[in-house]
Structure 1
Amino acid sequence: MIWVVYRDGLFYPSEPVPSDWKEGQRFTLLPDGLEPSDDPSDIARWESQMLQSGQLQFESGEREKFHNFMAEADRDAKESVRRSMESDR
């Protein structure tokens, strides 16, 4: 996750952006500290917005990057649990 600072009407990233980001690409910014709501009406509104946005569209290579990232996260989580269980012995 890249943090940004808003100053003089512009957003400044806290670190260099990934090289695969394209000039003019759109992003969603959330205020720091924004917590998700457990309120049923907020969840229903979020679900409605997600359903209206349609199917997620991947650009060339993005689907593979996403699946590789998720597979790596899964391996890391399993390895962390394995180490934790071994240290409890």
Structure 2
Amino acid sequence: MKEFAVYTALRILLFLASLGVVSGLWLLVAGEANLLGVFVIAFVLSGIGSYFLLNGPREALARRVDARARAAGQRFEERKAREDVD
């Protein structure tokens, strides 16, 4: 669960940083910011940035999810085998 919290927090921080940079640049250039445009651009930039910058935490989360799925599958197979014996 720790990996999920870390990755999610980093994604949120990256989005907020992108939002701040995009809105700051937009205000600097145009004098006023279109909120929808700022949110869309920040969302796209944070998504692209997370692909490159958050590869380590994403891989850790994927390994954790895979390990839990394998353990659950193994427990299921063990229960199924016990039912077959009974």
Measured against the shorter chain, the TM-score band is 0.3 to 0.5
Q: Which has the higher helix share?
A: 2
User: Larger C-alpha radius of gyration, 1 or 2?
Assistant: 2
Task: Output the TM-score relative to the length of structure 2.
Answer: 0.39
Task: Output the TM-score relative to the length of structure 1.
Answer: 0.37
